[in-house]
């Protein structure tokens, strides 16, 4: 289960701030994320700032969100240009190729924090949706990921979300996936500028919509 891959999608214009911070930061973290290009709908972002995580004394916005599949529904909405209430209107008008995918694993992103309840959380749906069931202790998180992996030929992974409280250091990111050579070269130059050695790979299938 710990080897299960997780994915953080962001617009390439946000990468510089991520590299400058040396980490992926939560929207309501300390310090907070300040994306240059915000893909989230304002209403969705505000709701995540008010939706609480049980037994963690925190809101969903205090966590860095990861998808559990490169075919997650919210990412596919961007890839296909399909309106989604979680996304800003402009987000589905931009090319999928203008985004990058930061790849980690459950174990790497969690690190030692798995020993503290509420530091790593899994939801079978968008964690801010009313009624979402959140697994917030490591045993429950592990079981939830296994359950989502086995559900409906991957459908569970396409809807699920993993949250890591506060921040995820860049060294815990194994790979940055991009859509083409031009973006790869731009990302490599940005990494070199800050002395980071994260691997960059061109993987076009992750940037194609479900109908392509």
pLDDT 10s digits, 140-194: 999 999 999 988 777 889 999 999 999 999 999 999 999 999 999 999 999 999 9
**What pLDDT does residue 211 have?**
63
Task: Round the average pLDDT of the chain to a whole number and report it.
Answer: 93
93 catalytically annotated: no
Binding region: 8-10, 25, 48
Count of Cβ atoms closer than 10 Å to residue 10 Cβ: 20
Q: What is the pTM of this model?
A: 0.95
The catalytic position among 86, 158, 161, 165 is 161
> Residue 120 is part of which domain span?
5-206
* Range 65-80 average pLDDT: 96
Q: Looking at the domain assignment, is residue 53 inside a domain?
A: yes
Cα→Cα distances 17→99, 129, 183, Å: 14, 28, 17
The catalytic position among 48, 79, 158, 172 is 48
Q: Looking at the domain assignment, is residue 211 inside a domain?
A: no
Q: Do residues 29 and 62 touch, judged by C-beta distance below 8 A?
A: yes
**What pLDDT does residue 167 have?**
97
Q: Looking at the domain assignment, is residue 164 inside a domain?
A: yes
Q: Looking at the domain assignment, is residue 55 inside a domain?
A: yes
Strand pairing report for 134-135 and 161-165? unpaired
Q: Looking at the domain assignment, is residue 12 inside a domain?
A: yes
Binding region for NAD(+): 8-10, 25, 48
pLDDT tens digits, residue range 96-123?
A: 999 999 999 999 999 888 888 999 999 9
Q: How many domains does the chain have?
A: 1
46 catalytically annotated: no
């Amino acid at each position: 289960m710990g080897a299960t891959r997780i994915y953080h999608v962001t617009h390439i214009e946000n990468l510089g701030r991520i590299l400058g911070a040396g980490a992926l930061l939560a929207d309501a973290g300390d310090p907070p994320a300040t994306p240059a290009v915000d893909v989230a709908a304002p209403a969705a972002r505000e709701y995540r700032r008010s939706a609480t995580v049980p037994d963690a004394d925190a809101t969903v916005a205090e966590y860095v969100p990861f998808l559990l599949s490169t075919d997650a529904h919210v990412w596919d909405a961007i890839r296909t240009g399909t309106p989604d209430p979680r996304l800003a209107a402009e987000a589905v008008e931009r090319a999928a190729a203008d985004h990058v995918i930061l790849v980690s694993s459950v174990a790497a992103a969690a690190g030692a924090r798995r020993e503290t309840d509420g530091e790593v959380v899994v939801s079978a749906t968008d964690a801010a949706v009313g009624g979402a069931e959140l697994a917030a202790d490591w045993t429950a998180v592990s079981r939830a990921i296994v359950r989502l992996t086995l559900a409906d030929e991957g459908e569970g992974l396409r809807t699920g979300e993993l949250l890591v409280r506060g921040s995820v250091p860049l060294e815990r990111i194994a790979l940055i996936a991009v859509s083409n050579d031009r973006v790869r070269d731009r990302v490599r130059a940005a990494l070199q500028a800050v002395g980071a050695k994260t691997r960059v790979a061109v993987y076009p299938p992750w940037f194609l919509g479900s109908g392509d």
